[in-house]
Amino acid sequence: MKALVVLLLITWMVGCPAGPPVQPVVPDGAHVPRALLTLKEEGRTYSVAFSPDGRRLASTSQAGTVKVWEASTGKQLLALEGDGDWVRSVAFSPDGKWLASASHDDAVKLWDAVTGRELLRLKGHTAAVPRVTFHPDGTRLASASLDRTIRVWDTATGEELLTLKGHTGPVNGVAFSPDGKQLASASRDGTLRLWETSGGRQLLTLNGHVGTVTAVAFEPGGKRLASAGNDNTVRLWEVATGRQVLLMEGHADWVRSVAFSPDGRQLASAGNDGSVKLWEASSGKQLLSLEEHTDWILGVTFSADGRRLASASYDATVKVWKVSQGQRSLTLPGHVGGVSGVTFTPDGTRLASASLDGTVKVWDAVTGRQQRTFRGHSGAVHDVAFSPGGKRLASASLDRTIKVWETATDKAPLTIEGHAGIVFSVAFSHDGRRLASAGDDTAVKLWDASTGKEQLSLKGHAGVVFSVAFDPGGQRLASAGEDATVRVWDASSGKEVLILKGHTAPVESVTFSPDGKRLASAGDDTTIRVWEVSTGKEVLALKGHTTAVYSVAFSPDGKWLASAGLDKTIRVWELAGGEERLVLKGHTTAVYSVAFSPDGERLASASLDKTVRLWDVSLAKSNQLSRQ
């Protein structure tokens, strides 16, 4: 149980002088969003493209068809039938009216993207065509072929305008620059080449990949180029000079596809290791790894607004992912002992943390900068809670006291004594007039928050009480304990109203839903349970953590739950169906506390690894739909 872990891992240092200010850091991304949509194809899926307005999605497969889907729902709108051979690539025209496709049988076709009618068949290549792309103005089309050529076509007439020769191996990829004046190509000969689109003159040859270059893409500004290869790398190049400026390593096998976000800040890659990776384009730092596909991924692309990513895989699926710019976790280092509690101010601008180092710290919740450190406890601090106005902060400690601090001043705190042992939990009532606390003396106590006078002592638990929480109206109180029960009390009289049984091991955390109608609890039995407060009926049992769950929190709208535990993860659950929607990884040891920001867009977590982390979880709420 948590109490035992705490006692074994107390690393606090009483009176330890403060070191130099520690800056928040952004770690390698640990966000693990789930696919928003999964679209089932009829065979290996090779390519995927969003329409310019983001409303449609086109995909190609081994079945020889091009399919068009409604991007918001996954509904199939069209199936464009070819000649039965694999369709390797698909692209929407800039106005979204046409589709171009390229196939294994050397055919390039133009289609009406609304009706699905075939408009043109472009003939000239003598081998398979793995890639096709439109010129930015839509008047031309470029195709790359295993016949070692790139061909440029007039989209109105189907006339071949240019044949670019120079590669000594099959050409796998081609891309127009944003201004349409240049073409880049990627080849099995290990090179990238830049061409002038007006006359077909070769401008540069870029060498660096060790083996086949599988894909190429221009950044939106046109100054850099990204490439992917069978050397498991993604590389960034300076277009003007051909100089390699970044090398991104992280894939465990061939990288097959690469795409820039519309603002150029991020880069997506995908390959044979079955993962889609998201990189910071300025630094090459990996931000995300999306790993739901079960086979090679041959295509990846961003929607025009940059909020979604689509991937096409040999596992016969297309997946759509909700992504947002800069989605990373922020790490707040500064404590010299494990962090056991975390909470936001009601306005979401600040964050407080409690630590085994005996301190309470206050942080800027946006920048992660440390604002204040409160010292006074003579032992580890286990929990912390802001008053409703955010002007006071209560802390619970190993030293058997509760302290109430004024957050804006250096005034000595109010010290509340009365527990006969460690105080594990503290909570303010909705009006800030009372405090509730719980500890290892088996008691739940109610106090006057201004004077520290004890008002009630609630007895009923048969062991340590780990957690206490007021309902939103301040009329009821819930507690969770070592005896594997959750108890609900009348906050005025102290009368025990309910005993909730279902956990099979100590219960570490309890919290009320924002409307007060439900309770959530987390326990050492690895489960989170949701209860109906009026009846005490268990309505959900959420399973996903692999070890003890130490903390649970409702989102402000009551639709989501966050949990954290000994398995080092934070998990986000959708309550409507009890489905796990997000797993956040990054902490290196047990996570003791988790809290939603008042707007529900962020999560704060506290861990024995001595850090607080802030996570953007807005995408979890967007990824509510998963279709097979």
Q: Are residues 108 and 254 in the same domain?
A: yes
Question: Closest Cα partner for 192 from 167, 210, 157, 170?
Answer: 167
| Domain presence at residue 4 | no
Percent of the chain exceeding pLDDT 90 equals 76
Write down which residue in 288, 322, 356 finishes a domain.
Answer: 322
In whole angstroms, give the CA distance from residue 23 to residue 77.
Answer: 51
| pLDDT score of 163 more than 50 | yes
pLDDT at 233: 96
How far is Cα 221 from Cα 384, in angstroms, rounded to an integer?
Answer: 48
**Mean pLDDT confidence for 287-306:** 88
Mean pLDDT of 463-476: 96
- Provide the 8-state DSSP code for 283: T
Mean pLDDT of the chain: 89
Neighbouring residues of 625: CB distance < 8 A, sequence distance ≥ 6: 36, 37, 73, 74
- Give me the count of residues in the chain: 628
Q: In the structure, what pLDDT confidence band is assigned to residue 9 with cuts at 50, 70 and 90?
A: very low
Please check the confidence at residue 119 and state whether its pLDDT lies above 70.
yes
Closest CA to 289 of 304, 305, 311: 311
In a domain, residue 88? The reply is yes
| Inside any domain, residue 212 | yes
The tokens for 341 are 């509690």
Q: Within a 13 Å sphere around the CA of 307, how many CA atoms are in the beta-carbon half?
A: 12
Contact criterion met (CB below 8 Å) for 486 and 519: yes
* Region of poorest pLDDT, from 93-107, 435-449, 499-513: 93-107
Same domain, 280 and 178: yes
Residues 401 and 497 in one domain: yes
**What value does the mean pLDDT take over residues 594-611?**
93
Residue 34's pLDDT band (cuts 50, 70, 90): low
From the CB of residue 366, how many other CB atoms can be counted at a distance below 10 Å?
13
Contact criterion met (CB below 8 Å) for 153 and 140: yes
C-beta neighbour count of 408 within 10 angstroms: 11
Q: Which of 322, 348, 383 is the last residue of a domain?
A: 322
User: Tell me, what's the pLDDT at 28?
Assistant: 37
Query: Is there a domain that residue 3 lies in?
Result: no
Taking a C-beta distance cutoff of 8 angstroms, is the pair 343, 595 a contact? Answer: yes
Say what the alpha-carbon torsion angle 462, 464, 470, 476 is, to the nearest 10 degrees. 10
Distance (Å, whole) CA 423 – CA 396? 5
- CATH assignment of the domain containing 351: 2.130.10.10
Contact 333, 348 (CB under 8 A): no
DSSP 167-199: -SS-EEEEEE-TTSSEEEEEETTSEEEEEETTT
Say yes or no: 281 and 346 in one domain: no
Structure-derived torsion over alpha carbons of residues 393, 396, 397, 402, reported in degrees to the nearest 10 = 80
Sign of the C-alpha dihedral, residues 112, 113, 116, 120?
Answer: positive
* pLDDT over 70 (residue 307): yes
- pLDDT band for 210, please (50, 70, 90 cuts): very high
pLDDT at 1: 61
Domain check: are 314 and 384 in the same one? no
- What pLDDT is stored for residue 63 in this prediction? 86
Give bridge partners of residue 257 from the DSSP assignment.
270
Burial class, 622, CB count within 10 angstroms (exposed 0-12 / middle 13-18 / buried 19+)? middle
Q: Going by C-beta distance under 8 Å and a sequence separation of 6 or more, which residues neighbour residue 395?
A: 354, 360, 374, 377, 381, 383, 384, 402, 403, 405, 426
The answer as to whether 589 is a domain residue is: yes
Mean pLDDT across the stretch 52-79? 91
Could you read off the pLDDT of 173-203 as tens digits, one per residue? Answer: 999 999 999 999 999 999 999 999 999 999 9
What percent of the chain is helix, strand and coil (3-state, nearest 5)? 0, 50, 45
* Other beta carbons within 10 Å of 23: 13
pLDDT band at 11 (very low <50, low <70, confident <90, very high): very low
Q: pLDDT value at position 37?
A: 82
Please provide residue 499's backbone torsions phi and psi, each rounded to the nearest 5 degrees: -125, 120
Backbone angles phi, psi at 503, to 5 degrees: -65, 150
Do 59 and 47 touch, CB atoms closer than 8 A? Answer: yes
Confidence (pLDDT) at 14: 35
Residues 314 and 449 in one domain: no
CB neighbour class for 215 (10 Å; exposed up to 12, middle 13-18, buried from 19): buried
Is 104 a residue whose pLDDT tops 70?
yes
DSSP bridge pairs for 266: 280
65 in Cβ contact with 42 (< 8 Å) = yes
- Between the alpha carbon of residue 569 and those of residues 15, 26, 193, 561, 602, the distances in Å are 31, 17, 45, 14, 15
pLDDT of residue 584: 85
Judged against a pLDDT cut of 80, whether residue 111 lies above it is answered with yes
Residue 563 lies in a domain: yes
Q: In the listed set 322, 350, 372, which residue is the last one of a domain according to the structure? A: 322
Q: Are residues 482 and 348 in the same domain?
A: yes
Spatial neighbors of 228 by CB under 8 A, at least 6 apart, are 186, 213, 214, 215, 216, 234, 235, 255, 256, 257, 258, 269, 271
pLDDT-based confidence at residue 403 (cuts at 50, 70, 90): very high
Over range 533-547, report the average pLDDT: 96
In a domain, 12, yes or no: no
- Examine the domain organization and report whether 225 and 91 are in the same domain: yes
Nearest to 275 by CA among 313, 303, 247: 313
Instruction: Please check whether residues 240 and 346 belong to one and the same domain.
Output: no
Residue 289 vs residue 16, higher pLDDT: 289
pLDDT tier at 82, thresholds 50, 70, 90 = low
Q: Are residues 135 and 254 in the same domain?
A: yes
pLDDT tens per residue, range 250-294? 999 999 999 999 989 899 999 999 999 999 898 898 877 888 899
pLDDT confidence of 3, banded at 50, 70, 90?
low
* pLDDT score recorded for residue 230: 95
Report for 10-19, 285-294, 483-492, 605-614: range of highest mean pLDDT = 483-492
Residues 61 and 129 in one domain: yes
- Which pLDDT value is given to residue 597? 93
Whether the per-residue pLDDT at 2 is higher than 70: the answer is: no
Cβ 36 vs Cβ 320: under 8 Å: yes
Inside any domain, residue 27: no
- Same domain membership, residue 469 and residue 434: yes
> Would you call 509 helix, strand, or coil by DSSP?
strand
Domain span at residue 128 reads: 39-322
CA distance 88 to 448: 71
If one counts the domains in the chain, the total is: 2
* Beta strands across the sheet bearing 317-322: 37-40, 317-322, 308-313, 297-302
